[in-house]
Copies of this chain bind each other. A is one copy, B any other.
Amino acid sequence: MSVTAAKGFTAAGIAAGIKQNGNPDLALVVNTGPRRAAAGVFTSNRVKAAPVLWSQQVLADGELTAVVLNSGGANACTGPQGFQDTHATAEKAAEVLGIGAGEVAVASTGLIGLLLPMDKLLPGVEAAAAELSEHGGEKAAIAIKTTDTVHKTAVVTKDGWTVGGMAKGAGMLAPGLATMLVVLTTDADVDAKGLDSALRTATRLTFDRVDSDGCMSTNDTVLLLASGAAGVTPAQDEFAEAVRTVCDDLARQLIGDAEGASKDIRIEVINAATEDDAVEVGRSIARNNLLKCAIHGEDPNWGRVLSAIGTTSAAFEPDELNVAINGVWVCKNGSVGEDRDLVDMRYREVTITADLAAGTESAVIWANDLTADYVHENSAYSS
């Protein structure tokens, strides 16, 4: 159901010919109201794609009516022409929808450093507008896929209102958001401030804690649009929790479909002095290539966990560290613990628990293993 699960939204996904293989590559999401409140979170990469720069600008007033998304090209590092192309895309959507370009966000994903084929993209916007439907959410989710093997959607329905969404992303997943495009919609009657607060909290705890390959994208975009069509204003806490649930679900789907991965690694850092310490340690473990290889080889190599922890500035004493892999405490007090042969690593999900013995805070970071398939997928062709 994706972005059209909530009332007050239409969507479409079509093949505009941007991708050379003819797969769907253009999505349109429209808020039909009555409210047009919106919030967004974008990549923290300082090299930002043209659509990110554009969308940050149009979101300044907390309102959006439509989002145009394309796969098949990131429109990043494309200079002034790239920005003009994004602008023209928004203008075209505004024209066919009878609104202003300042109400249209744009999101792009694909290869960096290539101009988009505007002769295909602009007619595509018209074609997509002609197909807008209250049942178009699925098609929109399919049209934003790049190397994703499956499309990703999630929905939470509460008492009379709904939060739904779609996501794409399979590589270049790292903190500061993953290479992802995400559009969330709700029919709850929430203003821009409420949306912004709920979205920032949710992304900080979900998408920002996904680290597939340590690489931060130029195009990450997460948008949340509210139509108010349900005529219900939930309590902010309840609304924020629903948004977080949807983001959590989508983030987990991103990790589960990461390029070339054979394992999803749940890294729990516990007993940290601060949450920041827990996140720093979790990310350091998540990005350790040697550990990622070991997990791929189903080798409970806790020494690589400790060497990753040791590179951080978190509070801990080396001889008080404990590490469990899938529940077996293979490292105790910074040294050999339980028998590593007890660790069963046959399944796709692997849990690494790092106990810093320095406080009461914790965090979970999700990562993937490093595989020959990842190398192949990212060396055999440009992406």
Contacts and interface: CB of A to CB of B under 8 A. Distances in A.
Interface of A: 44-48, 74, 76-79, 82, 111-115, 171-172, 176, 213-218, 287-290, 293-294, 296-297, 299, 301-304, 306-312, 316, 318-319, 321, 331, 333-336, 370-372, 374-382
Nearest to A302: B113
Give the residue among A48, A176, A303, A316 with the most B Cβ atoms within 10 A.
A303
A47 B289 contact: no
B379 A113 contact: no
A44 to B, nearest CB: 8
A198 to B, nearest CB: 27
Contacts of A289: 213-215, 289, 370, 374, 378
Give the residue among A46, A294, A309, A374 with the most B Cβ atoms within 10 A.
A46
Contact of A310 (B45, B290, B381): B45
A299 to B, nearest CB: 6
A382 B379 CA distance: 26
A335 B376 contact: no
26 contacts: A45-B311, A47-B307, A47-B309, A47-B318, A48-B310, A76-B306, A76-B307, A77-B302, A77-B306, A77-B331, A78-B336, A79-B319, A79-B333, A79-B334, A112-B303, A112-B306, A171-B290, A213-B290, A214-B214, A215-B304, A216-B311, A289-B289, A289-B374, A293-B377, A297-B379, A372-B376
Give the residue among A44, A217, A289, A319 with the most B Cβ atoms within 10 A.
A289
Given A216-B311, A287-B214, A378 B294 contact: yes
What are the 5 closest A-B residue pairs judged by CB atoms, nearest first? A112-B303, A297-B379, A47-B310, A79-B335, A293-B378
A299 B375 CA distance: 13
A334 B46 CA distance: 12
A74 B111 CA distance: 43
A375 B379 contact: no
A306 B378 contact: no
A340 to B, nearest CB: 9
Nearest to A76: B303
Contact of A303 (B113, B294, B370, B376): B113
A56 to B, nearest CB: 14
Given A47-B318, A214-B288, 6 more contacts: A79-B334, A213-B289, A215-B307, A218-B306, A289-B374, A374-B375
A19 to B, nearest CB: 17
A318 B44 CA distance: 13
Given A288-B214, A375-B293, A306 B47 contact: yes
A77 B215 contact: no
A311 B176 contact: yes
A379 B299 contact: yes
Contacts of A310: 45-48, 216, 218
Nearest to A314: B46
A6 to B, nearest CB: 33
A78 B77 CA distance: 49
Contacts of A301: 112, 382
Nearest to A46: B310
A111 B303 contact: yes
Given A112-B304, A303-B77, A331-B77, A293 B379 contact: yes
